[in-house]
Protein backbone atom coordinates (compact mmCIF):
# COMPACT_ATOMS: atom_id res chain seq x y z
CA UNK A 1 0.00 0.00 0.00
CA UNK A 2 1.12 3.55 -0.67
CA UNK A 3 1.22 6.21 2.04
CA UNK A 4 -0.71 9.47 1.61
CA UNK A 5 2.55 11.22 0.68
CA UNK A 6 3.33 8.57 -1.97
CA UNK A 7 -0.24 8.78 -3.28
CA UNK A 8 0.07 12.56 -3.65
CA UNK A 9 3.36 12.09 -5.48
CA UNK A 10 1.74 9.55 -7.85
CA UNK A 11 -1.01 11.99 -8.86
CA UNK A 12 1.42 14.92 -9.15
CA UNK A 13 3.70 12.78 -11.35
CA UNK A 14 0.76 11.92 -13.63
CA UNK A 15 -0.28 15.57 -13.97
CA UNK A 16 3.28 16.84 -14.50
CA UNK A 17 3.82 14.18 -17.17
CA UNK A 18 0.69 15.23 -19.07
CA UNK A 19 1.61 18.93 -18.81
CA UNK A 20 5.16 18.33 -20.10
CA UNK A 21 3.96 16.09 -22.90
CA UNK A 22 1.21 18.43 -24.12
CA UNK A 23 3.37 21.56 -23.95
CA UNK A 24 6.73 20.18 -25.16
CA UNK A 25 6.16 16.53 -26.19
CA UNK A 26 8.61 15.22 -23.61
CA UNK A 27 8.66 13.56 -20.19
CA UNK A 28 9.45 15.67 -17.11
CA UNK A 29 13.06 15.62 -15.90
CA UNK A 30 13.62 14.43 -12.29
CA UNK A 31 14.95 17.87 -11.30
CA UNK A 32 11.70 19.49 -12.45
CA UNK A 33 9.64 17.61 -9.87
CA UNK A 34 8.87 19.52 -6.67
CA UNK A 35 8.24 16.26 -4.78
CA UNK A 36 10.19 13.12 -3.87
CA UNK A 37 9.58 9.68 -5.38
CA UNK A 38 10.16 7.00 -2.73
CA UNK A 39 11.62 3.58 -3.52
CA UNK A 40 8.10 2.18 -4.02
CA UNK A 41 8.10 3.94 -7.41
CA UNK A 42 10.94 1.59 -8.44
CA UNK A 43 8.76 -1.49 -7.76
CA UNK A 44 6.82 -3.12 -10.58
CA UNK A 45 3.12 -2.31 -10.19
CA UNK A 46 -0.03 -2.26 -12.26
CA UNK A 47 -1.59 1.18 -12.51
CA UNK A 48 -4.37 3.13 -14.25
CA UNK A 49 -4.66 6.87 -14.82
CA UNK A 50 -8.17 8.29 -15.13
CA UNK A 51 -9.01 11.81 -16.30
CA UNK A 52 -12.41 13.40 -15.69
CA UNK A 53 -13.70 16.76 -16.88
CA UNK A 54 -16.79 18.30 -15.28
CA UNK A 55 -17.68 14.91 -13.79
CA UNK A 56 -17.42 13.05 -17.13
CA UNK A 57 -14.77 10.51 -18.16
CA UNK A 58 -12.15 12.13 -20.43
CA UNK A 59 -9.63 9.29 -20.65
CA UNK A 60 -8.62 6.13 -18.79
CA UNK A 61 -5.75 3.82 -19.72
CA UNK A 62 -3.27 1.79 -17.73
CA UNK A 63 -1.09 -1.24 -17.17
CA UNK A 64 -3.25 -4.06 -15.75
CA UNK A 65 -0.17 -6.15 -14.89
CA UNK A 66 3.00 -5.17 -13.03
CA UNK A 67 5.09 -5.10 -16.23
CA UNK A 68 7.13 -1.96 -15.49
CA UNK A 69 8.16 0.24 -12.57
CA UNK A 70 5.42 2.28 -10.92
CA UNK A 71 7.13 5.50 -12.06
CA UNK A 72 7.27 4.40 -15.71
CA UNK A 73 3.78 2.90 -15.63
CA UNK A 74 2.30 6.15 -14.26
CA UNK A 75 4.03 8.30 -16.88
CA UNK A 76 3.08 6.00 -19.76
CA UNK A 77 -0.52 5.64 -18.54
CA UNK A 78 -0.87 9.40 -17.99
CA UNK A 79 0.16 10.19 -21.58
CA UNK A 80 -2.04 7.38 -22.92
CA UNK A 81 -5.08 8.58 -20.95
CA UNK A 82 -4.56 12.10 -22.29
CA UNK A 83 -3.88 11.43 -25.97
CA UNK A 84 -4.27 7.71 -26.81
CA UNK A 85 -7.69 6.71 -25.45
CA UNK A 86 -9.52 5.78 -28.68
CA UNK A 87 -12.88 6.75 -27.15
CA UNK A 88 -11.96 10.45 -26.94
CA UNK A 89 -10.13 13.15 -28.91
CA UNK A 90 -6.71 14.04 -27.44
CA UNK A 91 -6.80 16.36 -24.43
CA UNK A 92 -5.89 19.95 -25.28
CA UNK A 93 -3.40 21.89 -23.16
CA UNK A 94 -6.11 24.46 -22.37
CA UNK A 95 -8.33 21.70 -20.91
CA UNK A 96 -5.92 20.79 -18.10
CA UNK A 97 -7.27 23.52 -15.80
CA UNK A 98 -10.64 21.69 -15.86
CA UNK A 99 -9.41 18.09 -15.59
CA UNK A 100 -9.19 16.01 -12.42
CA UNK A 101 -6.36 13.45 -12.37
CA UNK A 102 -6.86 10.11 -10.61
CA UNK A 103 -4.31 7.30 -10.18
CA UNK A 104 -5.28 3.75 -9.19
CA UNK A 105 -2.47 1.43 -8.02
CA UNK A 106 -3.37 -2.23 -8.63
CA UNK A 107 -2.58 -5.44 -6.81
CA UNK A 108 -1.59 -8.52 -8.83
CA UNK A 109 -4.74 -9.98 -10.47
CA UNK A 110 -5.75 -13.43 -9.17
CA UNK A 111 -8.01 -15.85 -10.97
CA UNK A 112 -11.22 -16.56 -9.03
CA UNK A 113 -11.36 -20.34 -8.71
CA UNK A 114 -15.08 -20.98 -8.40
CA UNK A 115 -17.92 -22.43 -10.43
CA UNK A 116 -19.50 -19.76 -12.68
CA UNK A 117 -22.69 -19.52 -10.61
CA UNK A 118 -20.58 -18.88 -7.48
CA UNK A 119 -18.63 -15.95 -8.99
CA UNK A 120 -21.00 -13.13 -7.89
CA UNK A 121 -20.62 -14.17 -4.24
CA UNK A 122 -16.83 -13.97 -4.50
CA UNK A 123 -16.84 -10.34 -5.67
CA UNK A 124 -16.81 -7.53 -3.12
CA UNK A 125 -18.24 -4.32 -4.59
CA UNK A 126 -16.00 -1.33 -3.92
CA UNK A 127 -13.03 -3.56 -3.14
CA UNK A 128 -12.53 -5.69 -6.25
CA UNK A 129 -11.84 -4.77 -9.84
CA UNK A 130 -12.40 -7.43 -12.51
CA UNK A 131 -10.64 -8.83 -15.55
CA UNK A 132 -12.55 -11.14 -17.89
CA UNK A 133 -10.68 -13.18 -20.53
CA UNK A 134 -11.86 -15.51 -23.26
CA UNK A 135 -9.67 -16.37 -26.21
CA UNK A 136 -8.14 -13.13 -27.52
CA UNK A 137 -10.78 -11.01 -25.77
CA UNK A 138 -9.99 -9.27 -22.50
CA UNK A 139 -11.77 -6.53 -20.53
CA UNK A 140 -10.96 -4.77 -17.28
CA UNK A 141 -13.03 -2.56 -14.99
CA UNK A 142 -11.50 -0.79 -11.99
CA UNK A 143 -12.90 -1.29 -8.45
CA UNK A 144 -14.48 2.19 -8.36
CA UNK A 145 -16.63 1.55 -11.47
CA UNK A 146 -19.21 -0.63 -9.70
CA UNK A 147 -20.01 1.68 -6.73
CA UNK A 148 -19.87 4.81 -8.91
CA UNK A 149 -22.49 3.28 -11.23
CA UNK A 150 -24.49 1.50 -8.48
CA UNK A 151 -23.83 -1.96 -9.95
CA UNK A 152 -24.25 -5.21 -8.06
CA UNK A 153 -21.78 -8.06 -8.64
CA UNK A 154 -23.82 -9.64 -11.46
CA UNK A 155 -24.07 -6.31 -13.32
CA UNK A 156 -20.36 -5.73 -12.71
CA UNK A 157 -19.51 -9.11 -14.24
CA UNK A 158 -21.76 -8.39 -17.22
CA UNK A 159 -20.25 -4.97 -17.89
CA UNK A 160 -16.71 -6.37 -17.66
CA UNK A 161 -17.66 -9.00 -20.25
CA UNK A 162 -19.05 -6.26 -22.52
CA UNK A 163 -15.78 -4.31 -22.09
CA UNK A 164 -14.00 -7.43 -23.37
CA UNK A 165 -16.25 -7.51 -26.44
CA UNK A 166 -18.08 -10.59 -25.13
CA UNK A 167 -21.74 -11.22 -24.37
CA UNK A 168 -22.73 -10.02 -20.87
CA UNK A 169 -23.25 -13.61 -19.70
CA UNK A 170 -19.85 -14.89 -20.90
CA UNK A 171 -18.81 -15.26 -17.24
CA UNK A 172 -21.46 -17.99 -16.94
CA UNK A 173 -20.17 -19.73 -20.06
CA UNK A 174 -16.54 -20.39 -19.26
CA UNK A 175 -14.80 -17.01 -19.52
CA UNK A 176 -11.94 -16.66 -17.04
CA UNK A 177 -12.60 -14.11 -14.29
CA UNK A 178 -9.83 -12.57 -12.19
CA UNK A 179 -10.07 -9.94 -9.48
CA UNK A 180 -7.66 -7.38 -8.11
CA UNK A 181 -7.75 -4.51 -5.65
CA UNK A 182 -6.89 -0.88 -6.22
CA UNK A 183 -5.71 2.01 -4.11
CA UNK A 184 -7.21 5.23 -5.52
CA UNK A 185 -5.71 8.70 -5.20
CA UNK A 186 -7.34 11.68 -6.91
CA UNK A 187 -7.46 15.46 -6.97
CA UNK A 188 -10.46 16.96 -5.15
CA UNK A 189 -10.50 19.65 -7.84
CA UNK A 190 -8.24 20.34 -10.86
CA UNK A 191 -4.66 20.88 -9.60
CA UNK A 192 -6.08 20.73 -6.05
CA UNK A 193 -5.54 18.67 -2.90
CA UNK A 194 -4.99 14.93 -3.45
CA UNK A 195 -7.03 12.52 -1.35
CA UNK A 196 -7.31 8.74 -1.10
CA UNK A 197 -10.76 7.67 -2.21
CA UNK A 198 -12.37 4.76 -0.38
CA UNK A 199 -15.70 3.06 -1.08
pLDDT tens-digit readout, 78-96: 999 999 999 999 999 999 9
pLDDT, mean of residues 127-141: 97
pLDDT of residue 30: 86
Residue 144 contacts residue 181 (beta carbons within 8 Å): no
pLDDT of residue 148: 94
Cα 88 to Cα 37: distance, rounded to the nearest angstrom: 30
How confident is the model over 164-193, as pLDDT tens digits? 999 999 999 999 999 999 999 999 999 999
**Binning pLDDT at 50, 70 and 90, where does residue 161 land?**
very high
Burial degree of 92 (CB within 10 A; 0-12, 13-18, 19+): exposed
pLDDT of residue 82: 98
Residue 50: enclosing H or E segment and its boundaries? strand 46-53
| Of 199, 49, 174, the residue nearest 124 (C-alpha) | 199
pLDDT of residue 45: 95
pLDDT of residue 39: 96
Cα 190 to Cα 193: distance, rounded to the nearest angstrom: 9
Please say if the pLDDT value at position 120 is more than 90: yes
Look up the pTM and report it. 0.92
Q: What is the mean pLDDT of the chain?
A: 96
| Of 11, 76, 71, the residue nearest 41 (C-alpha) | 71
3-state class of 36 per DSSP?
coil
pLDDT of residue 15: 97
Q: How many CA atoms lie within 13 A of 182 on its CB side?
A: 32
CATH numbers and ranges of domains, the chain? 4-106 (3.30.700.20), 110-180 (3.30.1490.150)
Please say if the pLDDT value at position 31 is more than 90: no
Cα 124 to Cα 128: distance, rounded to the nearest angstrom: 6
Residue 194 contacts residue 3 (beta carbons within 8 Å): no
Q: Which DSSP string do the residues of 4-28 spell out, in sequence order?
A: HHHHHHHHHHHHHHHHHHHHHSSPP
Amino acid sequence: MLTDIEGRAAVKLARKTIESFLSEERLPEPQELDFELSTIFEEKRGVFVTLTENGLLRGCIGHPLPDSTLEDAIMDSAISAAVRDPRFPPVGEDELKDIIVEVTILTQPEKINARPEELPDRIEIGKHGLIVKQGYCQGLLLPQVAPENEMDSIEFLGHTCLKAGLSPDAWLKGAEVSCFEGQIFKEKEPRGEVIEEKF
